[in-house]
């Protein structure tokens, strides 16, 4: 995926707006209630999105200056910042999110064309082109909008983003052998994806695109999934 394509930046903008709208609709007490993520309140999810925006901004700074600028100083520091952010007053937390989103949007728009070929490193140590940064934010805003557990589901995520999410999961699981291989087939588009390494025990799972994206990313599935003969749909390992 190209980093500065109009379509990708539009996905970022739409996903950011969707996440911010979900947060805006929450009452202050509701921000402290549980999210879909184990051990995290909705406030934790919001704090994470704010800090992720700044972490991706660090990668853009790295690409622009040539000076190594890690996403996070350490995993422990990252966790501490999220926990601290989640404890802030609701008004401060909302402002923090909006300001971090604006900083990232400005940096994405202003990054010189020549810098998009730079190589940076993710928090997991993977070297990538900075062109991946917009997609990394697309994943965060759309999937975590669902994780807020406010009624937004994968049926509300643009279909092209759903397809790209399944592409991402399939690429990450390509060589995995620690779960039964699964072939996903979109009943409303004909696309197929292989998760894992194909073999005699491959299970075919069919569903609509939003349900496949939710299943692949380990989120609540909005519609039915079908396996041959009524077989149980395998549980997948964690995506990220």
Distance (Å, whole) CA 200 – CA 33: 44
Distance of CA 10 to the CA centre of its chain: 15
Q: What are the CA-CA distances from residue 215 to residues 10, 81, 159, 169, 197 (Å)?
A: 25, 29, 15, 10, 18
Asked if residue 213 lies in contact with residue 222, where contact means CB atoms within 8 angstroms, the answer is no
Give 40's pLDDT tier (boundaries 50, 70, 90): very high
pLDDT given for residue 195 in this prediction: 96
pLDDT in tens, 138-161: 999 999 999 999 999 999 999 999
- CATH 3.30.1050.20 residue ranges of the chain are 159-230
| Element holding 127 (H helix, E strand) | strand 127-129
Q: Which CATH number is 6-152's, of 1.10.287.3510, 3.10.450.40, 1.20.120.450, 3.10.20.740?
A: 1.20.120.450
pLDDT given for residue 4 in this prediction: 52
Is domain 159-230 given the CATH code 2.130.10.10 in the classification?
A: no
H helices within the chain, ranges in order?
Answer: 6-25, 28-31, 42-65, 75-86, 90-110, 133-147, 159-172, 209-216
Averaged pLDDT score across all residues of the chain: 94
pLDDT given for residue 240 in this prediction: 82
Tokens matching residue 113: 């064309």
């Amino acid at each position: 995926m190209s980093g500065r394509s109009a379509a990708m930046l539009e996905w970022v903008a739409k996903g950011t707006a969707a996440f911010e709208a979900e947060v805006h609709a929450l009452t202050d007490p509701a921000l402290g209630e549980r999210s879909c993520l184990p051990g995290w309140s909705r406030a934790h999810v919001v704090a994470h999105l704010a800090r992720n925006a700044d972490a991706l901004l660090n990668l853009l700074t790295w690409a622009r200056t040539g000076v190594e600028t890690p996403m996070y100083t350490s995993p422990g520091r990252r966790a501490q910042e999220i926990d601290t952010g989640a404890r802030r007053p609701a008004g401060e937390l909302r402002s923090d999110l909006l300001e971090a989103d604006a900083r990232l949007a400005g940096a994405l728009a202003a990054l010189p064309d020549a810098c998009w070929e730079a190589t940076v490193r993710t928090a997991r140590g993977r070297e990538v082109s900075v062109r991946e940064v917009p997609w990394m934010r697309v994943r965060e805003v759309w999937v975590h909008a669902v994780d807020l557990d406010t009624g937004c589901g994968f049926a509300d995520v643009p279909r092209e983003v759903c397809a790209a999410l399944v592409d991402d999961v399939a690429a990450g699981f390509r060589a995995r052998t620690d779960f039964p291989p699964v072939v996903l087939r979109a009943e409303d588009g004909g696309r197929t994806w292989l998760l894992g390494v194909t073999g005699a025990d491959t299970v075919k799972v069919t569903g609509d695109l939003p349900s496949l994206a939710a299943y692949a990313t380990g989120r609540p599935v909005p519609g039915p999934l079908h396996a041959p003969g009524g077989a149980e749909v395998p549980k997948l390992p964690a995506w990220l």
